[in-house]
A and B are shown apart, each in its own frame.
Chain A
Amino acid sequence: MSALTFRLRHEPQLRVSLALLVPQTLARLSPAAIPEMELTWGSGAIKVGELFEIRGSDASHLVFEGGSPKLDRIGEAMASGEIIVRGDAGAYLGHRMAGGTIRVDGSVGAYCASGARNGFITVDGDAGDFLAAALPGEHRGMAGGLVLIRGDAGERAGDRMRRGVVLIEGSAGDYCASRMGAGTIAVLGRTGAGIATGMRRGTLLLRETPELPPTFNDCGVHDLGFLQLLYRSWASLPGGFAALPGNSLTVRRLVGDLGNGGKGEVLVWV
Chain B
Amino acid sequence: MQINGIPVADTFAEAFAMWGARVLITAENEKWAQAAARTMTGFATSVIGCKCEAGIERTVPAAETPDGRPGVAVLLFAMDSAGVGKRLVERIGQCVMTCPTTACYNGLTAEESVMVGGALRFFGDGYQASKLLDGRRYWRVPVMDGEFLVEERFGVQKAVGGGNLLILGDDTAAALAAAEAAVAAMQQVPGVILPFPDGVVRSGSKVGSRYKALIASTNDAYCPSLRAVAPNTQLPEDVGCVLEIVIDGLDLPAVEEAMRRGLQAVARPGIRQISAGNYGGNLGQFKIGLHALLNGAGETA
Interface positions of A (Cβ within 8 A of B): 144, 163, 184, 201, 203, 222-226, 228-230, 232-233, 263, 265
Is the beta-carbon distance between A201 and B66 smaller than 8 angstroms? no
Contacts of B66 in A (CB 8 A): 228-229, 232
Residue-wise interface mask of B (176-219) relative to A, using a CB-CB cutoff of 8 A (1 in contact, 0 not): 00000000000000000000000000000000000000000000
Is the beta-carbon distance between A224 and B146 smaller than 8 angstroms? yes
* A222, A229, A230, A263 interface centre (most CB from chain B within 10 Å): A229
Is the beta-carbon distance between B138 and A233 smaller than 8 angstroms? no
Q: In the complex, what residue of chain B is closest to A233 when comparing beta carbons?
A: B133
Is the beta-carbon distance between B146 and A226 smaller than 8 angstroms? no
Asked, given contacts A225-B103, A226-B140, A228-B67, whether A263 binds B149 with beta carbons under 8 Å apart, the answer is: no
Contacts of B138 in A (CB 8 A): 226, 229
Is the beta-carbon distance between B133 and A230 smaller than 8 angstroms? yes
Is the beta-carbon distance between B129 and A184 smaller than 8 angstroms? no
Contacts of A163 in B (CB 8 A): 132
* A144, A224, A225, A230 interface centre (most CB from chain B within 10 Å): A225
Is the beta-carbon distance between A226 and B68 smaller than 8 angstroms? no
Q: In the complex, what residue of chain B is closest to A263 when comparing beta carbons?
A: B129
- Could you give 19 example pairs across A and B, Cβ below 8 Å? A144-B132, A222-B146, A222-B147, A223-B146, A224-B147, A225-B103, A225-B147, A226-B138, A226-B149, A228-B66, A228-B67, A229-B66, A229-B67, A229-B133, A229-B138, A229-B149, A232-B67, A232-B68, A233-B134
Q: In the complex, what residue of chain B is closest to A228 when comparing beta carbons?
A: B67
How far, in whole Å, are A229 and B147 apart by their CA atoms in the complex? 14
How far, in whole Å, are A144 and B133 apart by their CA atoms in the complex? 10
How far, in whole Å, are A223 and B103 apart by their CA atoms in the complex? 13
Q: Which of B108-153 contact A (CB under 8 A)?
A: 126-127, 129, 131-134, 138, 140, 146-147, 149
Contacts of A201 in B (CB 8 A): 129
* B66, B126, B131, B133 interface centre (most CB from chain A within 10 Å): B131
Chain B: interface size category: 10 to 19
Interface positions of B (Cβ within 8 A of A): 66-68, 103, 126-127, 129, 131-134, 138, 140, 146-147, 149
How far, in whole Å, are A233 and B136 apart by their CA atoms in the complex? 11
Least CB distance from B8 to A in Å reads: 49
Contacts of A184 in B (CB 8 A): 131
Contacts of A225 in B (CB 8 A): 67, 103, 146-147, 149
How far, in whole Å, are A203 and B66 apart by their CA atoms in the complex? 20
Contacts of B134 in A (CB 8 A): 233
Least CB distance from B158 to A in Å reads: 29
Given contacts A226-B138, A232-B67, list 10 more A-B pairs with CB under 8 A.
A184-B131, A222-B146, A222-B147, A224-B147, A225-B103, A228-B66, A229-B131, A229-B149, A230-B131, A230-B133
How far, in whole Å, are A228 and B138 apart by their CA atoms in the complex? 12
Contacts of B132 in A (CB 8 A): 144, 163
Q: What 4 A-B pairs are tightest by C-beta distance, nearest first?
A: A228-B67, A233-B133, A225-B149, A226-B149
